Every structure is written in structure tokens, then in C-alpha cells.
Amino acid sequence: MKRNSSVPGSLVLAASLAIAPLTGCVTQSKYDLMLAERDELAASNEILRQQSGQLTRQSQRLASVAAGLSQELALRDEEVEQLTREQEELMEELETWVVAGLIKMELLKDGLHLVLSEEILFPTGSDELSDTGREVLTKLVEELEQLPYQIAVIGYTDNVPVGPRLAARYPSNWELAGARAASVVRLFQGAGVPAQQLLVISRGESQPIASNDTPEGRAENRRIEVRLRPVVS
């Protein structure tokens, strides 16, 4: 009898059934991996979307702040220009006083400095303003009271000790210089300058501008200085 060399159908079918699950298992694993990668990418994309939204909002806030600062800077520039014009006008008004020898004037980085001689403002050894001193300061305050200045009034003396007659009232030149500066401030306040714009300082004999070895030098050192610093709101 002749042998049949072909594989029986039952064996072929069995082999096919055995291979099919293996093929399906590999495909499912790849599919699951792809799903996991897709979910991971979707999650990353959502995080990036949220971060992008936050950055957009931050950028908008920063742009708003920058616009506000630019506007404020422009306003400040206008205020500074206005104060500069007012200060120049004040200097022009006071120039006649400089020529007359009533005051000395100097414009520095921190504002306008006015120096008034003690001889103009006070009788010798007193903190009471003289009539001439009141007149000069009243004219000065008329120029200042409407302007936004911080006004520091500083008293200075020479190095001559306070005499016995006045020692009970002024133990040293510190007290004498401070009392004179306070007299000027009281006049300014009484003329309408707000108290919060006024400051009293005593330097005593500590900062001479001339030699105390001569009468002329001592006279220069006995002085009241009015410092005007513009106040920008």
C-alpha cells in the first residue's frame, strides 16, 4: 500500500490553534504599550497646556505691571520737571536778596541751600528774631509756603562759649543753635507751612565754614541754613 506523505489535517489544525494564541499575545502587549505611551503623552500635554496657561496669565500680569510703571514714571518725570521749574523760579526771585547780601544761595544734589547770617536774624546772644530777621524770613516763607518742599532749618554757631549771663538758658552752643533754628521754624509754621514739612537741626559749633580765629570768620560761622528738598508725591 502506498504511503501518504502529506500531514494529516488534524495535525495542521492543532498546530494552527497552538500558534494563534502566541501571535495574539505579542500584538496585545504592543497595543497596551502604545496605549500607555499615548496616555503618558496626553498627561504630559495637559501639564504643558496648564503651564502654558499659567505663563500666559503671568505674562499678561507682568505686561500690566510694566504699563502701570511706565505711566507712573511718566507722571514722576512731569512732577520732577515741574519742581525744577519752580525751583528755578524761586532762585530767580531770591537772586535780588543774594545781590543785597541778605542770603547766600547754592543749588546742590539734595536741593537748594540758603544761608542767612546770624547778624541779619538775631540780636547778639539771643534766639529772638530781630525785626529785620522777621521781615526777611516772612518774605522768604511767602515764596515757600505753596511749594512742596521739605524744609530743614539748621543752626550753627562759632566756637565762642556761651557767656555766664546766658549759660542758664543755653548751657552750650548746641542749645543756642537749636533755639535759633526753632525760632525760624516757628515763624514758618505760623506763616502757614505745614509742620510735617519742617525740621529743626542743631550743628552748634561743629561745622565751621571759616576760621574761628578772626572776627570775620566767626561771623560767617554764626548762621542759619535753610535746606529746601523738593518732595515728589
Can you list the residues of the chain whose pLDDT is less than 70?
Answer: 1-26, 79-80, 83, 145-146, 232-233
pTM over 0.75: no
Tell me the helix, strand and coil percentages in the chain, rounded to 5.
Answer: 60, 15, 25
Beta bridge partners of 46: none
Distance CA 187, CA 153 (A): 11
Pull the grid cell for residue 128.
529772638
In this prediction, residue 132 carries a pLDDT of 87
Q: Please name the helix (run of DSSP H) or strand (run of DSSP E) that holds residue 232, with its range, or none.
A: none
Closest CA to 205 of 195, 194, 217: 217
